Amino acid sequence: MTHDSGRAAQLRTVASILRATSYAVIGFILLLHILSVFSINLAPILASAGVVGVGVGLGAQSLFKDVLNGMFILIENQYNVGEVVKLASLQGTVEDLTLRCTTLRDGDGTLYIIPNSQVATVANLSRDFSVATLSISVDASADPEKVMRVLTAVAMEVRKDPALEKMILADPVVLGVDKIAGREVMYPVNFRVRANQKDIVLRAMRLRVIPAFEQEGIPLGTDPANMFIIKHMDPTAPPAQQPLVG
């Protein structure tokens, strides 16, 4: 379903709900008018209807909230079927949208059904553009200017790739040295891409960085958490006494 067809379907749903609601109100008013023409006492009927209405209203309060919020979601075009969103701390692709609930499927394939009354904040990840950032870890011994020059060349190669050029909306930006931890130096590279295309572009960048660094003799960084301190022992020292195992 395309964005335009999905939007048109949502607007038709709202129009049909409003039309059905207006017909029900008009029918109720006509019924009351007919009963008054035939001199039927409306007081007992209205009293009974009031008691029933209170009970139904209490039971359907959450349903009313769901439907009301669902109408605002549709009218304001907050998100459509097929878009990636964050709702109620959940992220996934919108598979279905009704007045009562929104159906999301996350990257693991789990299907979530969220009542529209719980949708307080919407983060739409599929509108306009998004910024894809890839942080490259480089050893501290590498020349920063050389690293930035190679990263810029690789990023521009990704930018000009015929399979990717329509996904990337602007020239990539190499931000320079962002963080230093031990012998690890981080160089972030930013791409402005079309919505939902971040992973494809970043994978293409990773694929090109490794051979480019090997060709230019630039060593990749090592996470300080994976570094170990090796103590040089005196070879003439007697071995440490081992505990006896009984």
* Residue 182 per-residue DSSP state: T
Number of domains in the chain: 2
Q: Indicate if 175 and 100 belong to the same structural domain.
A: no
Q: Are residues 111 and 177 in the same domain?
A: no
Which of 124, 156, 177 finishes a domain?
A: 124
Q: What is the CATH number of the domain that holds 154?
A: 3.30.70.100
Do 152 and 181 belong together in one domain?
yes
Two tokens, residue 205: 């960048």
Of the three residues 124, 155, 187, the one that is the final residue of a domain is 124
Strand arrangement, sheet containing 111-115: 111-115, 101-105, 90-97, 84-87, 122-124
What per-residue confidence (pLDDT) applies to 232? 46
In-domain check, residue 116: yes
Query: What are the pLDDT tens digits along the chain (246 aa)?
Result: 455 555 666 666 666 667 767 877 888 788 777 877 777 766 666 666 666 666 656 657 888 888 889 888 888 888 888 888 999 889 998 988 888 889 999 988 999 999 999 998 998 888 878 889 999 999 999 999 999 999 999 999 999 999 998 899 999 999 989 888 888 999 999 999 987 788 899 999 999 999 999 999 999 987 655 444 444 445 555 555 544 444
Q: Give me the pLDDT at residue 111, please.
A: 94
pLDDT at 59 (0 to 100): 58
Q: Where are the beta strands (DSSP E) in the chain?
A: 84-87, 90-97, 101-105, 111-115, 122-124, 129-139, 173-174, 179-181, 184-194
Q: How far from chain centre, in Å, is Cα 118?
A: 17
Looking at the structure, tell me whether residues 115 and 152 fall in a common domain. no
Looking at the structure, tell me whether residues 186 and 151 fall in a common domain: yes
| Count, residues in the chain | 246
Residue 231 lies in a domain: no
The residue with tokens 């020059």 is 149
Q: How far is CA 24 from CA 18, 44, 49, 51, 215, in A?
A: 10, 21, 15, 20, 74
Q: Report phi then psi at 134, rounded to 5.
A: -120, 120
Whether the Cβ atoms of residue 201 and residue 209 lie closer than 8 Å to each other: no
Q: What is the model's pLDDT at position 66? A: 87
7 shares its domain with 104: yes
Asked if residue 7 and residue 109 are part of one domain, the reply reads yes
Domain of 154, in residue numbers: 129-223
- Domain-embedded: residue 138: yes
Residues 100 and 150 in one domain: no
Instruction: Let me know whether 133 and 119 are in one domain.
Output: no
> Are 66 and 161 in a shared domain?
no
